[in-house]
């Protein structure tokens, strides 16, 4: 009995830790998503900073595809050649956010424009950037240290964000397109289903398991106390009552294990089906 209690305690502790991690991740992801929806440029903006996932190799080796950038909101301050900015542009008929370095600054009749180029590209961008198209600044030339840009980034984390949000090349691999309408309207994000919805459902089931376990433990202690305090029952009857109760508990454990195995099998089949669909 002592070993069983110890094992249950370990399971509950591990489950609580996993629950906290999943909930924290879900809250952060939801907050970023809501911030993106409220933002005019589609990027989450918190205290003047936005997170941006790199989608191309045009700025290597300053940052790489899949990195997560932290860009500062542009508020009309003076920019100079050498600054790295993020701006709205259209490529291949699609609206995107690009992050390139300013190579030339122009001003005509009080209107400022900037010629930009990726450090890893041989030619300047086709169109100059006007101030209204600037989303934020990744790095200022004036803040360089020994010629190294001071921008903040997290290597590879952008791919994880794209994966969960179902955006970018990484996220699109885990999305289905169904029904009618535009691609974005018809896209079903499987990564969000498997890594947000399903974990939250498992947390709900785990909490039910904890509640039932606590309830059974209370009943067990009450029964033990009643049996021990009943002087009219012989020791043999006491032992028999305890054995019957433990047998019933064992039967409940088997039923619970069967349900857990069934849920695990369903999750494996759903994952396998999703992988087959993504490959097709």
Q: How far apart are the first and last CA of the chain?
A: 52
Is 35 part of any domain?
no
Task: State the alpha helices, DSSP H only, in 112-197.
Answer: 157-165, 168-172, 183-186, 190-192
Is 207 part of any domain?
yes
| CATH code of the domain in which 74 resides | 2.10.109.10
Closest by CA to 190, choosing from 263, 278, 268, is 278
Residues 56 and 137 occupy one common structural domain: yes
Domain boundary, last residue among 122, 146, 173: 173
| pLDDT tens string 65-109 | 888 888 998 988 999 999 999 998 887 777 788 999 999 999 988
Closest by CA to 274, choosing from 164, 189, 198, is 189
Residues 72 and 10 occupy one common structural domain: no
Structural domain of residue 203, as residue ranges? 2-24+191-279
Is 108 part of any domain?
yes
Residue 133 has pLDDT above 50, yes or no: yes
pTM over 0.85: no
pLDDT score of 7: 66
Interatomic CA distance for residues 125 and 128, integer angstroms? 7
| pLDDT tens string 197-216 | 777 787 788 788 778 877 88
Residue 112 has pLDDT above 60, yes or no: yes
Is 200 part of any domain?
yes
Residues 202 and 237 occupy one common structural domain: yes
| pLDDT tens string 240-275 | 777 888 888 888 888 878 777 877 787 777 777 766
Q: Which helix H or strand E contains 238, and what residues bound it? A: helix 235-279
CB contact at 8 A, 161 and 68 = yes
Interatomic CA distance for residues 114 and 45, integer angstroms? 24
**Which own/partner contact pairs does 143-147 have at CB distance under 8 Å and 24+ positions apart?**
144/82
Interatomic CA distance for residues 264 and 208, integer angstroms? 17
Residues 77 and 16 occupy one common structural domain: no
Residues 58 and 169 occupy one common structural domain: yes
- How many structural domains does the chain have? 2
Distance (Å) of CA 217 to CA 137, 156, 210, 226, 271: 59, 46, 10, 14, 36
């Amino acid at each position: 009995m002592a070993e069983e209690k110890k094992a249950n305690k370990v399971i509950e502790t591990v489950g609580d830790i996993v629950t906290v991690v999943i909930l924290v991740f879900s809250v952060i992801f939801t907050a970023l998503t809501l911030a993106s929806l409220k933002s005019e440029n589609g990027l989450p903006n918190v205290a003047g900073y936005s997170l941006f996932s790199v989608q191309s190799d045009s700025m290597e080796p300053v940052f790489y595809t899949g990195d997560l950038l932290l860009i500062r909101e542009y508020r009309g301050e003076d920019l100079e050649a050498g600054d790295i900015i993020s701006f709205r542009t259209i490529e291949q008929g699609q609206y995107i956010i690009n992050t390139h370095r300013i190579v030339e600054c122009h001003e005509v009749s009080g209107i400022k424009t900037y010629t930009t180029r990726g450090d890893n590209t041989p030619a300047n961008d086709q169109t100059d950037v006007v101030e209204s198209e600037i989303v934020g600044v990744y790095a200022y030339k004036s803040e360089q240290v020994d010629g190294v840009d001071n921008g903040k980034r997290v290597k590879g984390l952008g791919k994880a964000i794209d994966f969960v949000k179902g955006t970018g090349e990484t996220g699109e691999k885990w999305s289905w397109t169904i029904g009618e309408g535009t691609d974005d309207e018809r896209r079903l994000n499987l990564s969000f289903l498997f890594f947000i919805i399903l974990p939250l459902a498992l947390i709900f089931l785990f909490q039910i398991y904890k509640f039932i376990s606590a309830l059974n433990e209370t009943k067990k202690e009450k029964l033990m106390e009643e049996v021990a305090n009943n002087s009219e029952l012989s020791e043999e009857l006491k032992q028999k009552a305890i054995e019957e109760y433990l047998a019933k508990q064992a039967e409940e454990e088997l039923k619970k294990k069967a349900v857990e195995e069934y849920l695990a099998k369903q999750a494996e089949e759903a994952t396998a089906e999703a992988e087959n669909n993504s490959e097709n």
